[in-house]
Chains A and B, each alone.
Chain A
C-alpha cells in the first residue's frame, strides 16, 4: 500500500514569507508526528497528533510554527515569517497508534529560506 507522502518535496522561500507543508499519513494510522532535521544534525521532534486528543506541541521551537490535523487524515505544518534558521528537512511520520508502534516516515520536505 501507499506509504507516507509529503509535499512539496522541495520548497525555496524568501525570508519573512509563510510556508505550508503537507503530510498524508498511511490510511488508518491514528498517530502522526512532525520532525525537523537540520543539515548534519539529528531529528528534532516538533509536534505529535494522536487521534482526537490534544496534540503534543512541546517540540515547536517558536509561535511561528503551528500544525493542524483534520481527524486522522492530512496534516499541515505552517511556518510563519520564515527565518533562515528554519532551513531544514521537515519529516512526517505516522503509526497505527502511539507508544511502541512502528513509525513510518515520509520522504520529507526540504525547506530553504533565502
Chain B
C-alpha cells in the first residue's frame, strides 16, 4: 500500500470552476508536507510547504490545508485557468529526511 494516497487520480474541470485535491498519508514521524505542480514534460515546481503547526497556506489561487492529526491534506484551486492543467504531487517528509511521494492528481482544465 502506498504511503501517500492522492485522490481523485484524475479530474476534468471547466475553466473558472474550483476544485479540491486530496492527499492522505500514513508515514511518521511527520516533518512537513509539500504540494508540487508538474506540467507535462517539466520538472515539479513547489506550490506550498506546510509544517506540523500550519493548518492553511495560500499561494495565489492555490490553498493547501493540513490536518496532522488525521494525516490529511488538501489543495484547493480557485477560479481554475487553462494553465492549471498539470499533475499535482503531494510529498510528505518524515523521519530522518525521508520522502514519500503520492502518484499525483492529474487535472485537466477545459474551456
Complex contacts, A48 vs chain B, CB 8 Å? 97
* CA–CA, A99 and B91, complex, Å: 13
Query: Which A residues touch B31, using CB under 8 A?
Result: 99-100
Which residue of chain B lies nearest to A106 when distances are taken between CB atoms in the complex? B43
A107 to B44, CA, bound (A): 8
**Nearest chain B CB to A6 CB, angstrom units:** 8
Q: With contacts defined as CB atoms under 8 Å apart, how many contacts are there between chain A and chain B in the complex?
A: 44
Q: Can you give 5 contacting A-B residue pairs, CB < 8 Å?
A: A4-B43, A42-B4, A42-B89, A99-B31, A104-B46
A107-B97 in contact (CB<8A): no
Expressed in whole angstroms, the Cα–Cα distance for A103 and B99 within the complex equals 12
Residue of B nearest to A43 (CB): B101
- Complex Cα–Cα for A95 and B49 (A): 14
Q: Is B109 in the interface zone, CB < 8 Å from A?
A: no
Dominant SS among interface residues on chain B: strand
Most interface-central of B4, B45, B89, B101 (chain A CB within 10 A): B101
Alpha-carbon separation in the docked complex, A106 to B44 (Å): 8
Is A44 on the interface with B (CB-CB < 8 A)?
yes
**Nearest-Cβ distance from residue A98 to partner chain B, whole angstroms:** 5
Within 8 A of B (CB), among A43-79: 43-45, 48
Q: Contacts A42-B89, A42-B104 given: A100-B51 contact, CB under 8 Å?
A: yes
With A4-B43, A107-B43 as known contacts, state yes or no: A102 contacts B49, CB within 8 Å: yes
B101 and A42 form a contact (CB under 8 A): yes
The chain B residue with its CB closest to the CB of A91 is B43
| Closest A residue to B87 using CB positions | A42
Least CB separation from A50: chain B residue: B97
Say how far A103's CB is from chain B's closest CB, in angstroms.
Answer: 7
Q: With an 8 A cutoff between CB atoms, is B103 at the interface?
A: yes
User: Is B93 in contact with chain A by the CB < 8 A criterion?
Assistant: yes
From A41, A102, A107, contact of B46 by CB (8 A)? A102
**Which residues B3-53 have CB closer than 8 A to chain A?**
4, 31-32, 36, 41-46, 49, 51
Given known contacts A42-B104, A45-B101, A100-B32, is B45 in contact with A105 (CB within 8 Å)? yes
